[in-house]
Amino acid sequence: MALMTEKLRAIMALDPDRTEIDFEGVDYSWGQIAKSVRRIETELDRIGLPVEARVGVMLRNRPGHLAAIIAVLSTDRCLVSLNPALPDDKLYADVEGLGLQVIIADATDTMRAGIAEVFSRAGSAVIEIGPRLEGVAMLPGFENPAPGKAAMLSPGVAIEMLTSGTTGRPKHVPLTRAAFDTSFAGFTRYERNRDFADQPQLRSGVTMVNNPLTHIGGIYGCIGALMSGRKIGLLERFTVDGWVAAIKRNKPKVAGAVPSAIKMILEAKVPREDLASLTALISGTAPLSPDIVDEFYATYGIPILANYGATEFAGAICGWNIDDFRAHWAAKRGSAGRLHADIEARIVDPETGAELAPGEEGLLELKGAQLGNDMQWLRTTDRAVIDADRFVFIKGRADNAIIRGGFKVHPDDVVNALNLHPSVREAAVIGVPDERLGAVPAAAIIIKRGAQEPTVDELKSFLKDRLIAYQVPAHFRFLPDFPRTPSMKPSAPGLKALFEVAT
């Protein structure tokens, strides 16, 4: 049994009256959570779902969904992440294509138009959960899987995590229990006087969870807080007012925010006293300008501790702690932090694969037990530098993914959606700089001869039915033709230059 499984079971039983979740100003105890967990477990057992079987969960940042996470992981089953923020057609295709015996979702999603027919075609049983722990029941008509539908097992896998599609369409990445144990053990070393192997206990302090649970940063923070026995301040989505209110209410020492959120906090001129409980802010998911770190520190006296990781890594592989920040920020300004002790890393030439010396820029390769690839070198798509003290500096992506406020947008997905419009002959999408979000997608469009040019608002409405909101371009240009390469492909540098003039 993995340490993660043992800890979740043990922590849940320590003090039923202890508050574990603050959600929108309402506290929920371990006893309330455990009641929902047991009800979900009872239904999974009634259906006959074995250990290591795959369970789909439409994850939202709500208390009932934390109970679902615990129910699946603490019984050594595999949680398959489903993203309800996806447009209906993409979510429904996921539901039908994954072969799941059981799906867990709340009424927000079980009431979506047409989803009952999707559940029927998938042959899945459906457990409906209350978003605020108010009830667990089988969805009428979906009490059992379709006759003959066998459980699919994922041995040793804790979560099949849905990526955001950096190198193509989103895919489910299997993250093993062993990988999570190793990752959490490495991350725990950032806390003074604490070891991952410590006996389960309830601790003081609060962990803020405002990143979506469908992304590795959100679910990683959530599971880490549950296992460490800390209260969770849960936000369904980030807003400055909601985040600040939760900080004032829960008084955490450490909180998290993606770079775009940090910029929003600064722009809102949040009073220093509202953040008085904080000794540090943790930021990941996207590169963070050192100028923002300096401005935040000068404004609030709070260091921002960046880290670097990915879904495929089962969490972070390097990061800052407070001691390192105080001792090294001036010299290592702009670094994503120091490599975890159990991670090996090297920089290689992207063409030859030859290892480069410390301080030289190339492609980042990693090796470590938490990567779950039998200790083989894993080549990333990031350009980076590693110095002699094992501090990592991320210089940019080697592929064409756009990082919009921490969310990854793959241009091909946007191009494919644009090309479905009846007036569009050809589309190209590139990333352009944005002061608040880091980068945003921009679309260049060639209209079919004789077709009516749509307005920008019409195009955005068209795309919102086919894409997640953050994938919709922020800028549009209609062109007679694109700048092109000798092979007649749209030229990204040429398009960037056009948008720089236009924006």
Final residue before a domain boundary, out of 174, 203, 228: 174
What is the model's pLDDT at position 423? 93
What is the model's pLDDT at position 167? 36
Q: Of 395, 435, 24, which Cα lies nearest the Cα of 266?
A: 435
* Residue 287 main-chain phi, psi, to 5 deg: -60, 145
86/33 same-domain check: yes
What is the model's pLDDT at position 48? 95
Kindly give the pairing relationship between strand 475-478 and strand 125-129. unpaired
pLDDT at 161 over 80: yes
136/282 same-domain check: no
Say if CB 393 and CB 287 are below 8 A apart.
Answer: no
Q: What is the DSSP string of 163-213?
A: P--TTSS--EEEEEHHHHHHHHHHHHTTSTT--TTSPP---SSEEEE-S-T
**Domain range holding 248?**
238-397
258/167 same-domain check: no
Is residue 210 included in any domain, yes or no? no
292/170 same-domain check: no
Question: Cα 19 vs. chain centroid, distance in angstroms?
Answer: 26
What is the model's pLDDT at position 186? 64
365/432 same-domain check: no
Residues near 86 by beta carbon (within 8 Å), at least 6 away in sequence: 94, 468
Is residue 133 included in any domain, yes or no? yes
Question: What's the structural domain count of the chain?
Answer: 3
Is residue 386 included in any domain, yes or no? yes
- Residue 45 Cα distances to 53, 69, 169, 281, angstroms: 11, 16, 34, 41
* Tokens matching residue 385: 């530098």
What is the model's pLDDT at position 430? 93
What is the model's pLDDT at position 164? 54
pLDDT at 63 over 90: yes
Prediction pTM value? 0.79
256/160 same-domain check: no
Tell me the C-alpha distance between 20 and 37, whole Å.
14
Size (the chain), residues: 503
Is residue 221 included in any domain, yes or no? no
What is the model's pLDDT at position 223? 87
- pLDDT tens for 362-416 read 999 999 988 888 889 999 988 899 999 999 999 877 777 888 998 888 888 899 8
Is residue 340 included in any domain, yes or no? yes
pLDDT at 25 over 70: yes
Final residue before a domain boundary, out of 348, 369, 397: 397
What is the model's pLDDT at position 205? 85
What is the model's pLDDT at position 489? 74
Final residue before a domain boundary, out of 120, 148, 174: 174
Percent of the chain scoring above 90 in pLDDT: 61
Tell me the C-alpha distance between 495 and 121, whole Å.
44
When pLDDT is averaged across residues 35-55 and rounded to a whole number, the result is 96
425/393 same-domain check: no
When pLDDT is averaged across residues 326-351 and rounded to a whole number, the result is 94
When pLDDT is averaged across residues 199-224 and rounded to a whole number, the result is 85
115/155 same-domain check: yes
263/334 same-domain check: yes
Tell me the C-alpha distance between 254 and 261, whole Å.
15
Is residue 207 included in any domain, yes or no? no
**E-strand stretches of 340-423:** 344-348, 362-367, 378-386, 391-397, 402-404, 407-409
Q: With bands split at pLDDT 50, 70 and 90, how would you rate the model's confidence at 450?
A: confident
* H or E, element range at 459: helix 456-464
State which of 223-232, 292-301, 425-434 shows the largest mean pLDDT.
292-301
476/390 same-domain check: no
Residue type at position 487: S
Specify the range with the lowest mean pLDDT, choosing from 141-145, 189-193, 300-304, 365-369. Answer: 189-193
Is residue 406 included in any domain, yes or no? yes
Is residue 371 included in any domain, yes or no? yes
In this structure, what CATH number is given to the domain that contains residue 383? 3.40.50.12780
In this structure, what CATH number is given to the domain that contains residue 166? 3.40.50.980
350/427 same-domain check: no
393/412 same-domain check: no
In this structure, what CATH number is given to the domain that contains residue 465? 3.30.300.30
Outline where 13-87 has alpha helix (H). Answer: 30-47, 63-73
- pLDDT tens for 479-495 read 998 887 655 678 888 89
- pLDDT tens for 214-251 read 888 888 888 888 888 889 999 998 899 999 999 999 99
